[in-house]
A and B are shown apart, each in its own frame.
Chain A
Amino acid sequence: MLADSWLIARKDLQVEIRSRIIINQIAPYTLLIMVLFGFALDANTQTLRDTAPGLYWVAILLVALLAIQRGVQIEDADAARDRMLLTPVSSSSIFLGKSLALFVQLLVLEVLLFFVMMVLFDTSVEDPLLVCLSAFVATVGIATSGTLYGVIASGVGVRETLLPILLLPVLAPVAIGATRTFGDAFGRVNADGWAWFGLLVVFAVVYTVLGMFSYGQLLEEE
């Protein structure tokens, strides 16, 4: 099962590397968002430094929406999703594969954006381990819930507008949790970062399980 997932994820990543949409379009977009935040907050470095964790994750959620749409569109463009149903591959494998590909893409964007934030917002990290682990788990949560909601919103003709309204409220705990852990790791707020890390783990596990069970149902036509 995991071997199938890996094949599907590798295929998605291969497509992304070829099309360069992530690098040529989505990455500059995240950069732009960060610059706009700078404009909006009046070039005040102290304010930017305090709000950096929140701004960072808002930017990630916005670009995650684009990456999710891409992942759905790859399968929809030429009815590859139907074709996939006519193979012995289980729907859980497809779910894990699509999630894994999304996870890797988001992680790349996060690393990129992190350095942009360090430079533009003049942040410093006190607890690198917490940053790495919480970003990792938060991304698992975004990737699994995003893959799940991506397929719910797919094939209905209004995907672009439906996906954000469905997904963003669901991601509220990740937005809060990841912001808090980063705030703690940057020494900006007095929060228990590791407790928040636990919450992110719960979110990631819940959506991985939910996805593995319900993805197959959602691929079926009724």
Chain B
Amino acid sequence: MTVAIDLREVVVLLSHFPALTGATLRVSQGEIVLLQGPNGAGKSTLLRLCAGLLPIKEGTAKILGQDLGENRRRVRPDIGLLGHKTGLYEDLTVEENIAFWASMTRANSQEITDAIEVMGLGGRLRDVLARQLSAGQRRRTAFAALLVQRPPIWLLDEPHAALDSEGRSLVNELIKNAAAAGATVLLVSHAAKELSALTGRVVTLAGGRVTSDSGGNGSEVNGVS
């Protein structure tokens, strides 16, 4: 199986703070990996690093075979990142937001309509301004903008945050489908129980490095479930 994400001893400094202190992680294509660890362990930084948004101080990082140390721009169009912030424009409606991001990522209008339907944003919600949405509705809109992009790498920070139980199972379904279609998914979450149905592989971070890995490529450290 091809390796989609390959990090070796990566050190990342945010200003002067070493957010990652030698993280090593290999993820195969189509795999779903759950990242967990205490607050400030470096999980969100790891996602941003994989998205090619952060410079690498030491070590090597390859995403889909592209060396991020050499060129971290090339891989970016292949990344779907959902962080704490959702990347929505407050004064655009749900549909306008999704349509804008669809046009930026070269998706067609059918894909927009589909994404809106799938995320349950049809009907009245479609024309509501982003600033008037609830937190859960914002997440759904951001998720729809991600769907239209159809990225081969999904990096999701707390994908269940602010979602109701129906939304959570919907997101689980989408993640499962994406992985089945060949996408690689990194999830960061504390709600391990809800997501553990998706994957057996749980990677734990602490102090800016991977401290345990419950599977994947035979590199088991300490089983954590």
Residues of chain A touching chain B, judged by Cβ–Cβ distance below 8 Å, are 4, 7, 11, 14-15, 18-19, 74, 77-80, 82-89, 220-222
Contacts and interface: CB of A to CB of B under 8 A. Distances in A.
Contacts of A83: 81, 87, 101, 145
Given A7-B103, A78-B90, 10 more contacts: A18-B91, A19-B91, A80-B87, A85-B76, A86-B51, A86-B53, A87-B77, A87-B105, A88-B77, A88-B105
B89 A15 contact: yes
Contact of A86 (B80, B85, B91, B100): B80
B55 interface: yes
B104 A7 contact: yes
B170 to A, nearest CB: 22
11 contacts: A7-B104, A11-B92, A14-B92, A77-B90, A79-B85, A80-B88, A83-B81, A83-B145, A84-B104, A87-B101, A88-B105
A18 B87 contact: no
B85 to A, nearest CB: 4
Contacts of B91: 14-15, 18-19
Q: Which 10 A-B pairs have the closest CB atoms?
A: A83-B87, A79-B85, A18-B91, A87-B104, A88-B77, A15-B91, A19-B91, A80-B87, A86-B76, A86-B79
A78 B84 CA distance: 9
Given A86-B81, A87-B105, A88-B77, A11 B89 contact: yes
Contacts of B193: none
B89 A78 contact: yes
Nearest to A88: B77
B53 A221 contact: yes
